[in-house]
Structures are given as C-alpha cells and as structure tokens.
C-alpha cells in the first residue's frame, strides 16, 4: 500500500498537533481532523494484516512464476522467472516485503501478457491460474468498508 | 496563503471586477473540505450599488492547489459550466476566471453558490434520502442524457475543448490514462494492466456522436435535496469532447456502488440505461458500454495512483490525497474484476 502507513501516520501526527492550536478556524479543524480520523481507521485495519497478506501473496506469485519459467517461450524471460521464483522474503519489514512484491508483480504482468498471446493448452491453463491468484489477491487486500 | 490574506486579496480582485460597486467586502470565508483536485471556499460578498442599494450574494471560490489530484486547465471547467448555465442541466453561474497567479497565487474562478443542498453521498443511505433514490436516480441519469444530447458547437464548447474523431474517442482516452498510470503508479497493477490489454484487443465501435463528456459524473458530484431533486452538476474539470457512453460507463463504475450493489447506489443498471437512452436519444450498445465500463476502471485507477503520487512527491501533503490511494485502489481492482466477469 502506498503511501506507506508509517509515513502517513507521521504526517497525521503533525497535522493533529497543528490543529490543536486555538487559532485554527473550526470548519478547517473539523475537516482536517475528520479526514485524519478516517485515515487512522484505515491504517488500523491495514496494519495488522499487511505483513501476512504480502507474505502469502509473494509465495503465490513465486509459485506462478515457477510455473511460468517452465511454460514461457522466451529464454530471457525464463531465466528471469527462475531467478524470481527462487527468491525468498528475507525480511518481514513491510518495506522489504513490498519491494519484493513489486518485483514479482512486474514479472507476473510480463508473463500474463505472453500467455494471452498464445493459444496452447499449457498457456491457457497457467493464465487461468494467474486470474485465480489475481482474484484471491484482491480478496485478501479487501477493506471492510469496500464499496464493492 | 493564509485565509486572512486570501480574503483581502480576493476582495481586492472582486472590487476590480465591479468598478460600479462601492464597499465591496468579503465575509464568512469557509473552506469546503473533501475536494482533492481544487481548493474550494464558500464566502459572502457584500457591496453597494451605484444607486446606493446594498446587496449580498453567496459565492464559491475554486482555486488550484500546489499539486492537484487531476491535472486540468481551469478554463475547461469554467467554460463547461458556462456552456450549460440556463439549460436543462443545472449548474451554478460562472462569474470570473483568472488563469494566472497574480491575484491569488494560482488560477481560480468565482461562481454563484447554490446553497441549501447536499453534495456528499454520506447522508444518502439513511432517512429521509433513502426513500428518494428512485426519483434521484432518474434525475441523475436524465440529466446525464441531456449532457449527451447537447450539441458541443451550439454550447460553444468546440472552441474550448480539443476536437476528436468519432472513431478515435476510445484510443485518445485510453492512451491518456495509460500514460498517467505509467508516470504515476508506485506499485505494479497486474489487474489493471490486463484490463488495458483487453481494451486494446477489443475496441468499441466509433462513437454515435462526438458529444460533451462531463468526465466525472457520479453520485457525490451533484447537489440534491430530500425530495430527489438535483440542483447542480459539479466538478466539470475533466470535461472533454468524446463518446457520450464514456460518462455512462463512468457513472456505472462499481466503486460508486457504495456497497449497495447498483450504479451510484441509486438505480438498477437497466433502469439507469433506459432513462439515459430516453433523455439522450442515443443507444447504449451493450458491448460498447461494457468497454467504457472497463475503461472507467482504468481511468479510476489512474486517478487513485496519481493521488498517491502527488502525496509521495511531497508537493501536496493533504490527507485527502491518501484516502483514494488506500481505500480505492483495491476497490478499483475488484471493480475491474467484476466488470470482466471474474469476481
């Protein structure tokens, strides 16, 4: 999730402190604190599950990329996929998990696009697996107040 | 700029626009929170006419912030409002436009305030508004149909807005919003990238007409009362010429379902289409509309990631920019999956 929760919380801390000053117009204070409260609520919801979601998603993406390494018809891409599929989450810091997730997603996009251009059963099957994971990932990241 | 300075400079500016008036003064300045693309203030203008009659009027100031959620020209929004004022599409009267930064530090316009109505969708889901959804929804899509029916040349908009050919509407919009994604995304988006590939592989037919596209027509961008009446269509900053189905598709974006399982949280999809077709005189071809609905997911995602980018780059740390990034990027992914029939 971007912007990072830690960055936003630091910014909100300053904002809340500024709004404690008596000269802030009431309407402005109400608007800023209302928005800040909404973001704090979202942060609270995302924070607890963020690491687990990223670890699960990174594992699922590595499994898809490993399959992609077997199926891809592009030699350079195969080597790239093998390398990424063999990587591990060495740190449970959200920033490290997010960086790894971004790398894996870039590779997934490239693999997905290649499979869409093909018509063989192997490609169709892996493409279906990718869609299943994309749906599962969207479900994992769903917030309680999601409009859909 | 502090509010006191803004008030002084705005009063000076307006006095210059009303040379016949004396005692021009501004009071009750209040920032309206919630807008991510412009800073909006309401205020009361008072003055004395040359014949000695004292007058007061509620007005709105819309000013560009340091970094906006949506990069658009102030004139586009001003001209769009002006084009529909006095027609069956309710909009506030536009008064003054300044495209430079001399007067208030950044471009702005001043408009009539349409007071006494709701704008935010928050109160719509409880009494007394809950009972008005059928009427309000019918009004909403009827007015959108009237926008679609309008002749851009008759409304004076062909001079203000870039032209586009009927068979190029989809490509221009998709190219633009994909470029925004390329420039602004801070995390790769596999679902939206798949949606873009899908859209390019199966483009829609040429637009039935090149019409006026509001660009952000949704629940939350119009003023309404507790009887289901609509009194002002707002937020025209993304107005452009294009395929009228684009607006219909955007109004059906599932992120505007508000958890109620229907467009805008107001009307069943087929009912809204029937109202729009009746008012516009156009047909909502199901395949073409589906294309524009999926496009709306791409456009929405581009706007949400731009919001994150504006905050991350530090030019604008308004918390309103964080909300779409946190609350809507996943919802927009889910919306795209829904439109593609995968969720």
Of the candidates B303, B308, B187, B288, the one whose C-alpha atom is nearest the C-alpha of residue B246 is B288
At A5-55, the pLDDT tens digits run 989 999 999 999 998 888 888 877 888 888 899 999 999 998 888 999 999
| Predicted confidence (pLDDT) per residue in B290-301, tens digit | 999 999 999 999
Nearest of B105, B98, B107 to residue B14 by alpha carbon = B98
In terms of average pLDDT, the best of B39-53, B112-126, B163-177 is B163-177
Query: Are A106 and B188 within 8 A, CB to CB?
Result: yes
Other CB atoms within a 10 A radius of the CB of residue B77 amount to 24
Q: Is A19 on the interface with B (CB under 8 A)?
A: no
B31, B319, B321, B333, best to mutate vs chain A, most A CBs in 10 Å: B319
How many Å from the N-terminal Cα to the C-terminal Cα in chain B? 47
Nearest to B188 among A12, A42, A109 (CB): A109
Residue in this structure with the two tokens 């009887």, named with its chain if needed: B227
Examine the pLDDT at B67 and tell me if it is beyond 90. Answer: no
The whole-number pLDDT of residue B233 equals: 98
Which domains, ranges and CATH numbers included, belong to chain B?
A: 3-112 (3.30.200.20), 121-339 (3.90.1200.10)
pLDDT at B130 over 80: yes
Q: Is B321 helix (H, G, I), strand (E, B) or coil?
A: helix
Split at pLDDT 50, 70, 90, the class of B320 is confident
> What residues of chain B lie within 8 A of the CB of A11, using their CB?
317, 319
**Strands B230-233, B54-63: parallel, antiparallel or unpaired by DSSP?**
unpaired
Lowest mean pLDDT among B24-28, B41-45, B143-147, B317-321: B317-321
Selection from B201-205, B313-317, B318-322 with the highest mean pLDDT:
B201-205
- Per residue in B144-170, pLDDT (tens digit) is 999 999 999 999 999 999 999 999 999
pLDDT of residue B246: 98
Q: Is residue A45 a contact partner of residue A143, using CB atoms and an 8 Å limit?
A: yes
The answer to whether residue A134 neighbours chain B at the CB level (below 8 Å) is: yes
Minimal Cβ distance to A146: which of B31, B197, B330: B330
Q: How far is CA B72 from CA B68, B125, B154, in A?
A: 9, 32, 23
The residues spanned by each domain of chain A are 5-140
Chain A nearest-CA distance from B161, in A, is 33
pLDDT (average), residues B43-54 = 95
* Mean pLDDT for the stretch of residues B73-92: 94
Of all residues in chain B, the one with the smallest CA distance to A61 is B190
- Between B32-36, B40-44, B306-310, the lowest mean confidence (pLDDT) is in B32-36
Mean pLDDT of chain B: 93
Tell me if A108 and B190 make a contact (CB, 8 A cut-off).
yes
At B66 the pLDDT is 58
Q: Which phi and psi (to 5°) does residue B303 adopt? A: -70, -40
Does residue B5 have a pLDDT over 90? no
What count of other Cβ atoms lies within 10 Å of the Cβ of residue B74? 20
* Chain B nearest-CA residue for A28: B31
pLDDT above 70 as % of chain B: 96
Interchain contact, A148 vs B335, CB within 8 Å? yes
Q: Are B98 and B198 in contact (CB under 8 A)?
A: no
| C-alpha to C-alpha distance for B311 and B324, rounded to whole angstroms | 11
Distance CA B189, CA B72 (A): 24
Q: Say how far apart CA B140 and CA B116 lie, in whole Å.
A: 18
The reply to whether residue A138 touches residue B191, judged by beta carbons under 8 angstroms, is yes
Q: Which residue of B has its CA nearest to A128?
A: B342
Mean pLDDT for A76-87 is 98
- Please give the angle made by the CA atoms of A71, A77 and A83, to the nearest 5 degrees: 95
Residues 6 or more apart from A100 whose CB is under 8 A from it?
A54, A58, A87, A89
- Are A112 and B338 within 8 A, CB to CB? no
Residue B69 confidence (pLDDT): 46
Whether B194 sits inside 8 A of A2 (CB atoms) is no
The minimum CA-CA distance between A137 and chain B, rounded to whole Å, is 9
Tokens of B250: 């955007």
How far does A105 lie from chain B, in Å, by closest CA?
6
- Distance, CA of A133 to CA of A108 (rounded, Å): 11
Q: What pLDDT sits at residue B36?
A: 56
Q: Tell me which chain A residue has its CA closest to the CA of residue B34.
A: A31
Q: How many other CB atoms are found less than 10 A from the CB of residue A112? A: 21
């Amino acid at each position: 999730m971007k912007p990072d929760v830690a960055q936003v919380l630091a910014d909100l801390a300053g904002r809340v402190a500024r709004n404690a000053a008596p000269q802030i117009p009431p309407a402005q204070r109400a608007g800023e604190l209302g928005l800040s409260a909404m973001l704090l609520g979202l942060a609270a919801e995302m924070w607890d599950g963020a690491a687990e979601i990223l670890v699960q998603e990174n594992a699922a993406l590595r499994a898809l990329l490993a399959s992609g390494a077997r199926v891809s018809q592009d030699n350079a891409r195969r080597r790239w996929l093998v390398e990424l599929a063999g990587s591990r989450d060495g740190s449970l810091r959200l920033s490290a998990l997010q960086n790894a997730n971004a790398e894996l997603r870039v590779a997934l996009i490239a693999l997905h696009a290649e499979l869409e251009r093909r018509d063989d059963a192997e490609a169709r099957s892996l493409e279906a697996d990718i869609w299943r994971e994309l749906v599962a990932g969207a479900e994992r990241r769903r917030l309680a107040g999601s409009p859909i | 700029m502090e509010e006191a300075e803004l008030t002084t400079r705005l009063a000076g500016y307006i006095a210059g626009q009303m040379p016949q008036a004396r005692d021009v003064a501004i009071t009750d300045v209040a920032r309206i929170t919630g807008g991510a693309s412009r800073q909006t203030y309401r205020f009361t203008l008072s003055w004395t006419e040359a014949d000695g009659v004292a007058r007061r009027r509620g007005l709105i100031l819309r000013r560009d912030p340091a970094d906006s959620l949506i990069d658009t020209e102030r004139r586009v929004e001003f001209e769009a409002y002006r084009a529909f004022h006095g027609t069956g599409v309710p909009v506030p009267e536009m008064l003054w436009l300044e495209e430079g930064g001399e007067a208030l530090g950044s471009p702005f316009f001043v408009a009539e305030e349409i007071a006494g109505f709701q704008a935010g969708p928050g109160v719509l889901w409880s009494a007394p508004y809950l009972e008005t959804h059928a009427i309000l929804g019918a009004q909403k899509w009827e007015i959108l149909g009237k926008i679609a029916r309008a002749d851009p040349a008759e409304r004076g908009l062909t001079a203000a807005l870039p032209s586009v050919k009927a068979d190029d509407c989809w490509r221009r919009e998709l190219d633009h919003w994909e470029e925004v994604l390329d420039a602004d995304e801070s995390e790769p988006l596999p679902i939206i990238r798949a949606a873009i590939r899908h859209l390019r592989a199966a483009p829609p037919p040429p637009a039935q007409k090149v019409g006026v596209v509001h660009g952000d027509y949704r629940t939350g961008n119009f003023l309404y009362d507790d009887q289901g009446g609509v009194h002002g269509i707002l937020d025209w900053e993304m107005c452009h010429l294009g395929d009228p189905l684009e607006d219909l598709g955007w109004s059906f974006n599932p992120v505007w379902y508000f958890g109620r399982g229907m467009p805008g949280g107001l009307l069943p999809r087929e009912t809204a289409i029937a109202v729009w077709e009746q008012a516009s005189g156009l047909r909502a071809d199901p395949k073409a509309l589906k294309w524009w609905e999926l496009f709306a997911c791409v456009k929405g995602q581009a706007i949400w990631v731009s919001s994150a980018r504006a905050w991350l780059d530090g030019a604008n740390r308004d918390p309103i920019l964080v909300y779409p990034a946190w609350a809507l990027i996943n919802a927009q992914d889910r919306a795209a999956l829904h439109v593609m029939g995968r969720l």
